[in-house]
A and B are shown apart, each in its own frame.
Chain A
Amino acid sequence: MVSGSTGSAKGRLPAALGRNALRVLMLAQTLIVVYPLLWNVLASFKTNAEVMESPWSLPSSLNWSNYADAFRTARIGDYLLNSALVVLLSLLLLLAAAVPTAYVLGRMRFAGRKLLANVYMAGLFIGGVYVIVPLFILMNDLHMLDNRFWLSAVYATGSLPFSVYLLTGFMKAIPADYEEAAMIDGCGYTGTLTRIILPMTRPALLTLVIFGFFDFWNEYVLALTLITSDEKKTIPIGLANLMQIQQFATDWGALFAGLVIVLVPTVVLYALLQKRLTEGMMLGGVKG
């Protein structure tokens, strides 16, 4: 399957042949990944009649009215703002909870530390949908439903176990000398954490923020359940609703435009962060 290095002259020709066969395989897969996205962009500029006619044709002209519809009638702009707000709040809450927890768990000795670390660890295995019913009832009782702040708090909690796990490992690796020196210099506990430790964990924090961004931005099940009024919905819910509505009307324009509006920031961020993202995945400790 994989052509080895070219050892001898007679091995060279088959190797080149094999390489090109693999290239074809890779190109075919590239097409399978890229084409649906490309088709989506093209369709977003088509009139409804053109969409129905053929999925291969190019739009006859750049028809921006779908985009206008997406913002005006489908309120994509509102959903985007809600998503941005929720992502930002979730990240703030996550960092505010995870950093101090990881600091204390990673660098201080106290009774119950081990137990607490294990409890957070166990949280890694309890996913969102299992507990969605009791969560919904709890939040209903506490009047936390249909509230973007509490949705963010639930998001932050969902990422907390992994974040604590990742950061604790990072914090443990920092030599104790730094802290001792800071203490002698008169930094209190808080000062040591914010001025000495925090800057040293920047790579791990950045990883958490990037992953958190994509997770929170894309989350569907919780947002679907915990937010009820239309003006507070996030973009995945908005799009899913739009799909349902347009399916019956067989008028897809605004939906395709809406998809592209969501795709564009994702593509841009991905292009900027791709390296960090794939490196960060390995930071997560999936190293066998």
Chain B
Amino acid sequence: MTMKLRRRAFIACCLLPGLVLFGLFKVYPTVQVFEKSFFQWTGIGDAPRYIGFKNYADLFRDDVFLLSLRNTGFLMLVVPVATLLVALVNASVLTRAKLKERALYRTVFFFPSVLSFVVIAILWSFIYHPTIGFLNAGLERIGLGQLAMAWLGDQRTVLWALAVTMVWQAAGYYMVMYMAGIDGIPPDLYEAASIDGATGFRQFMHITVPMLWEIIRITIVFSINGVLTISFIIVSVMTAGGPDRHSEVVMTYLYGQAFTNSNFGYAMAIGVFVFVVSLLLALLSNRLTERGES
């Protein structure tokens, strides 16, 4: 065998396992989801029938889909903002305030990020549980018993309750990212600011946030995408979309259409729609957070 041939054979052998897996489980389903979203396809045994854009047109007449879209939009707005804000404040406190026990806080705050989403969802179901949950019990203990309610069973509170759970899960993860970013900011910037008498809050606004801006931009996109994935698990375990669909999110709706109603074509149209929207959101957030100067 010539040298050249051996080299080629080696390259091919190295690429093959990855290509097989990637082609089969990633590329092919991705191509399929776009193609079959134009088909009516109800059930495994059924032959797909081409119907053009009908699935997409139906989306906008489907009240439950529109409600799930609104719920998802709510979570995509509230959860990233709250998560990143908490993460940023905690990161800057832990790096700048020189508390002796800061390593402990860092360890504790990051811990939810390694927990299984299912475990988190179950735990929080019990926090909110109307009879045995300790949120209601706690409110009663401090004399605010009249505020106690079925947090997950009331359509006014259910989305907020889910949002809190999602912030609890993710804040520590982004905090660690920001901490690493803050470590990279030259300390003399802070020193100079302190000598000039700038308060901690002003340093946060005028040094930490601008210096971390590029990282913040990336984490916004990460976090918006995270909501899409995590909301599926949180909702399916904690509320199953209830009460009366008021916590239905697009991913749970997609899943139900596919695996409960066997509307494969329609479910794929939802998938494509959400994929395109999330891509647009990422681009939009990138554009909005672009810095004017330079």
Contact = CB atoms under 8 A, between A and B. Distances in A.
Interface of A: 1-5, 7, 18-19, 22-23, 25-26, 29-30, 32-37, 39-40, 43, 51-52, 54-56, 93, 96-98, 100-101, 103-104, 108, 110, 116, 119-120, 123, 125-138, 140, 153-154, 156-158, 160-161, 164, 188-190, 193, 214, 217-218, 220-221, 225, 235-237, 239-240, 243, 252, 255, 259, 262-263, 266-267, 269-270, 274, 277-278, 281-282, 286-288
Interface residues of B, number: 106
Contact of B21 (A35, A97, A104, A267): A97
B247 interface: no
A90 to B, nearest CB: 11
6 contacts: A2-B93, A39-B126, A54-B137, A97-B21, A127-B228, A214-B114
B25 A157 contact: yes
B199 A133 contact: no
The A interface is mostly helix, strand or loop, or mixed, namely: helix
A125 B267 contact: no
A19 B14 contact: no
A154 B25 CA distance: 6
B108 to A, nearest CB: 5
B111 interface: yes
Given A52-B132, A100-B13, A282 B191 contact: no
Contacts of A52: 131-132
Contacts of B6: 188-189
B122 A4 contact: no
B123 A37 contact: yes
Nearest to B199: A4
Given A97-B21, A130-B33, A39 B134 contact: yes
A156 B148 CA distance: 45
Contacts of A25: 93
A55 B32 contact: no
B161 interface: no
Interface of B: 6-8, 10-11, 13-15, 17-19, 21-22, 24-30, 32-33, 36, 44, 89-90, 92-94, 96-99, 104-112, 114-119, 121-127, 131-134, 137, 141, 168, 172-173, 176-177, 180-181, 184, 190-191, 193-195, 198-201, 203-204, 212-215, 218-219, 225, 228-229, 232-233, 236-237, 251, 254-255, 258-259, 264, 267-268, 271-272, 274-275, 279
A135 B6 CA distance: 36
Contact of A131 (B13, B111, B271): B271
Given A100-B18, A132-B258, A262 B119 contact: yes
Nearest to A48: B132
Contact of B93 (A1, A100, A137, A269): A1
A218 to B, nearest CB: 4
A281 B180 contact: yes
Contacts of A1: 89, 92-93, 200-201, 204
B13 A288 contact: no
A243 B193 CA distance: 53
Contact of A26 (B105, B190, B200): B105
Nearest to B275: A130
Chain B contact residues, majority secondary structure: helix
Contacts of A104: 10-11, 14-15
Nearest to A213: B114
Contacts of B131: 52
Contacts of A30: 104-105, 108-109
B276 to A, nearest CB: 10
Given A4-B190, A5-B191, A221 B33 contact: no
Contacts of B172: 33
A183 B228 CA distance: 48
Contacts of B268: 133-134
B273 to A, nearest CB: 10
A243 B108 contact: no
A282 B99 contact: no
B200 A33 contact: no
Smallest CB-CB A-B distances: 8 pairs: A288-B214, A2-B200, A100-B14, A134-B32, A55-B134, A218-B116, A101-B18, A131-B29
Given A52-B132, A138-B28, A189 B7 contact: yes
Contacts of B25: 135, 138, 153-154, 157-158
Given A132-B258, A135-B25, A156-B21, A101 B109 contact: no
Given A7-B194, A270-B111, A281-B176, A288 B218 contact: yes
Contacts of B236: 240
Nearest to B180: A282
A157 B21 contact: yes
